[in-house]
Amino acid sequence: MDKPLNIMLAGFGGQGILFAGKIVAYAGLIDGREISWLPSYGPEMRGGTANCSVCLSDEPIGSPLVTEPDALIAMNLPSYEKFIDTVRPGGVVIVDATMVNVTPTRSDLRFFAVPATQLAEENELKGLANVILVGKLQGATAFSNRQSLETAIDKSVSAKRQDLAEANKRALVLGEMTV
């Protein structure tokens, strides 16, 4: 990847926003890129707002703040509404269509509505809508490669939850394959 990619992931606490950002950041690290991962969440945590800025670059990163993302993953309507106008023209917007029922208002973006929560439930991957959306981000931007992403999942899933690593990898592939 030649140019930097600044990503904003946003949703409610408990949807796995920070975990999804961690997978993206680890994949960048494994690929030998400069990375920053900056979580932000409200004091109420689960059910409150959560967002995460991830920067991937081949050059040193001046600031971890993402004010004009190249890519936005929005897992709920308040997050979509908060960040949609900040996405750079030509950027990528990916929403969980199960939770965010919107028609894109900007024609200068590549917009993907993925029913991630529904897909997760239908494929016995409940709770992995976040990873499905990371898979879609990979499919839309090719920010990494499959091997780096799978290694990133192995590193991101805690030791006591390693039994979930394979399910996360299935969710990643499912997201990557969505149209």
Q: What is the pTM of this model?
A: 0.94
pLDDT of residue 46: 59
* pLDDT tens digit sequence for 111-129: 999 999 999 999 999 999 9
| Residue range 5-177 in CATH 3.40.50.1000 | no
Q: Which residue has the tokens 């600031």?
A: 63
d(CA 70, CA 13): 23
Element (H, E) at 174: helix 165-177
Kindly state the percentage of the chain with pLDDT values over 70. Answer: 96
Quote the tokens at residue 15: 């949807």
Dihedral through CA 9, CA 15, CA 16, CA 21, nearest 10? 0
Element (H, E) at 82: helix 77-83
pLDDT of residue 49: 79
pLDDT of residue 32: 96
